[in-house]
Structure 1
Amino acid sequence: MAASSASSTSASAPPVETEYAAPALDKGLDILELLSATNGALSQAQIASGVGRSVSQIFRVLSTLERRGYVHRDHQSGLYILSLRLFDLAHRHDPLRGLLQASAGPMRALANAAEQSCSLSVEEAGLSRVVAQVESPGDFGFRVRVGALFSLDDSATGEVLRAFRSSDPDALEPALRSVREAGHVERGDDLHAGVIDIVFPVLRADGTAVAALTVPYVATRASVLGTDAVLRLARHAASQISGSVFPAPTP
């Protein structure tokens, strides 16, 4: 998967046939990639600058992306953001189905062993979206709805997704570099008192996160395990999912 695609970019690979280039498609993909890597909305001028083109060069492409539902333009501010169209397409795509299938067993085992709920989230258009959820088998637990959206900036899950977004840790701000070095986040939930979020990345072969596994730990007198034990279980589950989706190449 990731390893094989990386090898295809070696120096011996043949050059791309430029006579088959599609400039309009290049512009559209450049715009989508820029918006996906940006927190917040951008103006036409900012998008043009970000993709290295003039406003007139991207105007028709941007209008087409809006008409087809891939970007959304706020009619008051004129700013553009990605819509959830790409997320809808991703749900039909085998890699996401493979991720959900690979995560089902480890997440269920984690929830059963810890008697805590757990969820799996992916980054989408500057937000984190819950794509899978397993409820606690015990009497108490914290549940999030599949499909729910949360800010990347104000959540432990978002911290992990941002910390493992790039394959270059040196490009990260200090706080995210600390998360990257620790390999996970464990802290109190900003919105819900009494909940401790334990979050691990589900990693591709290049060390970037395809998803984040979150245990919203709720401590009660009936809790069977402490946070240290749950942390070990969550680390193992995230590693299992990563290994299933992105298996190590056979020597």
Structure 2
Amino acid sequence: MTRPKEQEISVRETADVVDAGPRYSAPALEKGLDIVEFLSRAEKDYTLAQIADNIGRTKGEIFRMLAVLETRGYVERVNDGEKYQVTNKLFRLGLRRPKYKSLAVIATPIMELFAAETRYACHLAVPTGNQIAVITRVECPDPVGVTVRVGYRQSLLETGSGLCLLAFMSAANRNRAIDAIKVDDPWLDVDALEGRLADIRQQKCLIEPSGVMDGVWDIACPILEGVGRGAIAALTVPYVKLVTNPIDPEAVAKHLVNAASRITSALA
């Protein structure tokens, strides 16, 4: 039997309303995620009371949740146990994704060859929200050099890796990243940033003073994911001119461009 047309419209409209919202509610999980997400954005450590206040919960609501998160290794106590900070456990879990595992596996031998040729350390960074995260590194063979630890996170705008990623990632990903940056920096001059990124794209390799360490230069090249899909990672060298290794930054950059190109080709 055919239903009246009006009823068919009513059923579809009801389905649209249901689909528009969350299907299920898990209050305990939401509390845990609120805590982890808040601490992951925090630039300092917080007490239980401060965490509760910032996420709009009571101390009683989050006391047990914090205890479980601490037991499972997602948060840890600092400052004599009075305050909490997020650990790198979620980051380590993320690195187990096949995408990042394969990228690190492919890149590592090429990075090792680069380090042997130039005697400089290098690391591979990927974008995550408004930050970069270092997923693998290769030490320099010399006893003296600058390295960045795996798991290190920093603003996209403060590092050569981040600026390289912003410049060479797809337009859609760049717009999303800039929107994420503007959440923390609503006064960001987007036009000036776009001009700076356009200048970087004119080069094959970024070479500029580090925004984090005085006396260090960032040399960074993009790792591309197919034609037109943009950068998915940045291969970066923290460069300091050493008496024992007088190679200039332009020469290091040439080796880095070659290494990044080989990684890109291997990913194809």
User: Same fold by TM (over 0.5)?
Assistant: yes
Give, in angstroms, the shift of residue 24 of structure 1.
0.7
User: Of residues 131, 139, 149 in structure 1, which corresponds to 2:136?
Assistant: 131
Distance 2:188 2:258 in 1: 24
In the alignment, structure 1 segments of 5+ residues that lack a partner are: 1-10
The reply to whether residue 83 of structure 1 matches residue 83 of structure 2 is no
TM-score (norm 1): 0.60
Task: Report deviation, 1:97.
Answer: 0.9
Residue 196 (str. 1) matches residue 199 (str. 2): no
Displacement of 1:76 after TM fit? Answer: 3.1
Alpha-carbon offset, residue 144 of structure 1: 3.0
User: Which has the higher mean CA deviation after the structures are superposed, 174-183 or 22-31?
Assistant: 174-183
Partners of 1:212 and 1:167 lie apart in 2 by 17
Could you tell me how far apart the structure 2 residues matched to 1:176 and 1:236 are? 33
Q: Report the equivalent of 2:170.
A: none
**Cα separation, partners in 2 of 1:57 and 1:89, compared to 1, 3 Å:** same
1:54 aligns with 2:63: no
Contact in 1 for aligned 2:123/2:148 (Cα 8 Å): no
Deviation at 1:172, TM superposition (A): 6.0
TM-score (norm 2): 0.57
User: Cα–Cα, structure 1 residues 98 and 157, in superposed 2: closer, same or farther, change >3 Å?
Assistant: same
Match of 1:167 in 2: 178
SS in 2 for 1:39: coil
Compare 83-92 and 233-242 and name the one that shifted more.
233-242
Displacement of 1:135? 3.6
Q: Structure 1 pair 190/29, CA: closer, same or farther in 2 (3 Å)?
A: closer
Compared CA separation, residues 22 and 204, structure 1 to 2 (3 A)? farther
Provide the secondary structure at the position in 1 that maps to 2:45: coil
Change over 3 Å in CA distance of 1:33–1:147 after alignment to 2: same
> Does the 8 Å CA contact 1:41/1:80 hold for their aligned counterparts?
yes
Please give the secondary structure, in 1, of the residue aligned with 2:46: coil
- Deviation digits for residues 168-213 of structure 1, max 9, x if unmatched? 25456579977773455621697685x53324576899x9997653
Q: Does 1:186 align with 2:191?
A: no
1:1-251 pair list within 5 angstroms:
14-15=19-20, 17-18=22-23, 20-74=24-78, 76=80, 78-104=82-108, 107-108=111-112, 110-111=114-115, 116-121=120-125, 131-133=136-138, 135=140, 142=145, 144=147, 147=150, 156=159, 166-168=177-179, 169-171=181-183, 173=185, 181-182=196-197, 186-187=208-209, 195-199=216-220, 212-219=234-241, 223=246, 226-228=248-250, 230-231=252-253, 234=256
Whole-Å separation in 1 of the counterparts to 2:38 and 2:225: 21
Question: Structure 2 unaligned runs (5+)?
Answer: 1-15, 167-173, 201-205
Matched letter for residue 147 of structure 2: V
Whole-angstrom distance in 2 between the partners of 1:57 and 1:141:
50
**1:40 & 1:33 partners in 2: Cα distance?**
14
Q: Which amino acid aligns with 1:197?
A: D
1:73-122 alpha-carbon deviations (Å, 9 max, x no partner): 23636211012322443343323312312433653565467563312246
1:35 Cα shift? 1.4
Identity over aligned pairs, percent: 29
Deviation of 1:72 (Å): 0.8
- More deviation, 141-150/52-61: 141-150
User: Is the contact between residue 137 and residue 149 of structure 2 (CA under 8 Å) also seen in structure 1?
Assistant: yes
Rg bigger for which structure?
2
